[in-house]
Amino acid sequence: MKNNLLKYYIAAFYFCSTFVMFADPGVDDEAGGLEDVDPVPINDYVWVLATLGMLLVFLKFRAMYKQGISSQE
């Protein structure tokens, strides 16, 4: 239980810190507002999410396969 909780804390810290680290606040101008800044691309970490998704699908199907094999015995 303690190990699983640690994994959730690490995952939550990672996801929360990446949102903060890649924020683009803009630049103050003399009028007191924020200047228009080029938008930040959101597709920098799509490959990471796709890889994690494929890994989770693989693990889920492997668990289902093992469960099916053990239930047939």
The pLDDT assigned to 19 comes to: 56
* Position 27 confidence tier, pLDDT thresholds 50, 70, 90: low
Query: Which percentage of the chain shows pLDDT scores above 70?
Result: 62
d(CA 40, CA 25): 10
pLDDT at 60: 93
Mean pLDDT of the 1-25 span: 72
> Mean pLDDT across the chain, nearest whole number?
76
Q: Measured in whole angstroms, how far is the alpha carbon of residue 14 from the centre of its chain?
A: 8
Residue 28 phi, psi dihedral angles, 5° rounding: -70, 140
pLDDT in the model for residue 58: 95
